[in-house]
Amino acid sequence: MKTLDQTILIVDDDKPNRKMLKELLQEQAKIIFAKNGEQAKKLARKHHPDLILMDVIMPDLSGFDVIDTLKNDAETMNISVIFITGLANDDDEARGFDLGGCDYIYKPFKSNIVIARVMMHLELIRQRKLLDEIAHIDALTGVNNRRKMDIVLAEEVDVNKQENTSLVVAIIDIDFFKQFNDNYGHGAGDVALRQVGQALCEVCQRPRDFVARYGGEEFVVILPDCDQVNAENILNNLTQAIDDKMIRHEFSSISKLLTISIGAIVVKSSVSSSVANIMKQADSLLYQAKNNGRDQWSIANLI
């Protein structure tokens, strides 16, 4: 059975049109419906469809009104919109493209044209998402990169301000990694970095847990909806996961195995702070852990 990994939101106040489009496209994507503009906005925010097929003329809000709202909302601005209309008007067509529409399908529907255009845009969307994923992955370790971390951390800080929870951000540094590279070679160092990234991901398994390579031998872990007690358990698990990899490091001053030091900051929802300040305080705690002998973690509340 074919798995439908993309979603189309069909927005039309005419039931026969909705039914016809569903029959044409249900083999290509999961289909959801909206009967009017207001419903379309709510469903777009709730489901984040890959593509919207939207009637231009509707009784409450026009398709142009809806797309104007969607394109000015960070949650929905990247959703592709194809207008469906029975009016072939150059001015309306130009307006639709100016507002961010990607194509037009005209009524009465011609089945082969509807399928061809929708399939083309679904493939473009699939390729765009793939390129976006590649752009946010660290090529060496396979975990998220610094660019993706900047985006996710800013989002999680905003969410944390709105919820009565706390957010934990940890900076992780591999102990004496220069000595590792100098003595075992950069090839072995690359293998070790991949092993560390894998170990961190194996521990951070909750739905919104996030792991990224920060640069060099540093990684960042973001733990949303996590208090200090749970964070301490996770930090212990992170250091243990690296120990379990048993990566030899005979040139370390503290162990015969590769170890890590961690600085973690607990950001309570009641405390307002910038991303830069959060990272600065986490970095200070990392250096505290290193100054205290390495192969350990240091955690504190954001001040």
**Range list of β-strands (E), the chain:** 7-11, 30-34, 51-55, 80-85, 103-106, 166-174, 210-215, 218-223, 260-268, 297-301
Spatial neighbors of 241 by CB under 8 A, at least 6 apart, are 199, 200, 202, 203
3-state helix, strand, coil in the chain (%, to 5): 45, 20, 30
Q: Cα–Cα distance between 210 and 285 in angstroms, integer?
A: 20
Residue 297 three-state SS: strand
Single out the catalytic residue among 38, 217, 218, 232: 217
The H or E element containing residue 144 is: none
> 10 Å Cβ neighbour count for 41?
20
Q: Cα dihedral sign for 199, 204, 205, 210? A: negative
Structure tokens at 219: 């990684």
**51-55 and 80-85 beta bridge pairing:** parallel
Helices 186-203, 177-184: inter-axial angle, 10-degree rounding: 140
Q: Cα–Cα distance between 120 and 28 in angstroms, integer?
A: 11
> By C-alpha distance, which of 132, 213, 135, 231 is closest to 177?
213
**51-55 and 7-11 beta bridge pairing:** parallel
Q: Is 218 a catalytic residue?
A: no
Return the active site residues: 217
